[in-house]
Amino acid sequence: MIANFKSITLFCLLAVQMFVAQKVNVSASESDAQLFVNGKPVGTGSYILKIEKDQCYNVRAVKQGFLKYDASVCGKKAGPEAPKNLFFDMKVDDSEEASVKADQANIDFEIEVNPKLSQTEAWKLVTQIVTDYFDAIEVSDKETSYLRTSWNIQSFAQNTVRTRLIIKLSKSEPLTYKVKLNSEYSGNSGTSVKADEQFREWDRILRKYKNVISDFSTRLTRK
């Protein structure tokens, strides 16, 4: 009788375990980080994920200004057994640390040149300013007053940023140039500078270029 009772008890415990969903305690070091499961928002900071034995789940933690983190957790029958706790120790996005948000990116700025400067003198000054920031000039045509630098590229933990300058004549009288600072990002590390299809306009500027437009404005218009 006692043996039968023990067998029934063991059977009940096994049955309960079969129907109790496995749980994973998901949390992030940033309490306001958004948590996503399979692309759907589930909360901020922490979340208890219930998983089916034959399913896998993508878990992601996202916060503006920080690197993005994701992990895959699976039920016992779908892959490696999921941990009881999944913690994301979030680090600051190094590409944002190295840049500033600016309204100068990817916009044409018209700069009227000091009338005391001849076109030759103005173009020489333009070239000097450009080479203060960029090592390589891709196109330079003094006759048409057009200059374009090569892309300068910088790779980060989860991003690649490329930057270049374009200067062209806007008006001959009074002498006015259009200056444009192109700033683009790929959202991935190690992107080739030639992979145009992977880059898109960025509303930020790397700190080392933040004074480019103001330098043109100050030095070309100086009385």
- Which pLDDT score, from 0 to 100, does residue 7 have? 53
pLDDT, residue 193, reads 96
Q: Determine which of 18-27, 103-112, 132-141 has the lowest per-residue pLDDT on average.
A: 18-27
pLDDT at 2 exceeding the cut of 80: no
Predicted TM-score (pTM) of this structure: 0.81
The 10s digit of each residue's pLDDT in 181-199 is: 999 999 999 999 999 999 9
Q: Look at residue 117 in the predicted model and tell me its pLDDT.
A: 94
Question: How confident is the model over 147-164, as a mean pLDDT?
Answer: 98
Residue 223: what pLDDT? 65
Pure H helices in 42-111:
94-97
- Window from 17-31, 52-66, 71-85, 128-142 with minimum mean pLDDT: 17-31
Confidence grade of residue 13 (pLDDT, cut at 50, 70, 90): very low
Residue with tokens 């030759």: 120
Given a cut of 60, whether residue 5 has pLDDT beyond it is no
Q: Which of 51, 39, 121, 128 is nearest to 86 (CA)?
A: 51
- Among left, alpha and beta (phi > 0; psi -120 to 50; other), residue 138 is alpha
Do 90 and 30 contact (CB within 8 A), yes or no?
A: yes
- pLDDT > 90? residue 3: no
Query: Is the four-CA dihedral 202, 205, 209, 213 of positive or negative sign?
Result: positive
CA–chain centroid gap for 2, Å, is 66
- Rg of the chain, C-alpha, whole Å: 29
Q: Does the structure show a pLDDT above 90 at 20? A: no
Alpha-carbon distance 36 to 43, whole Å?
A: 7
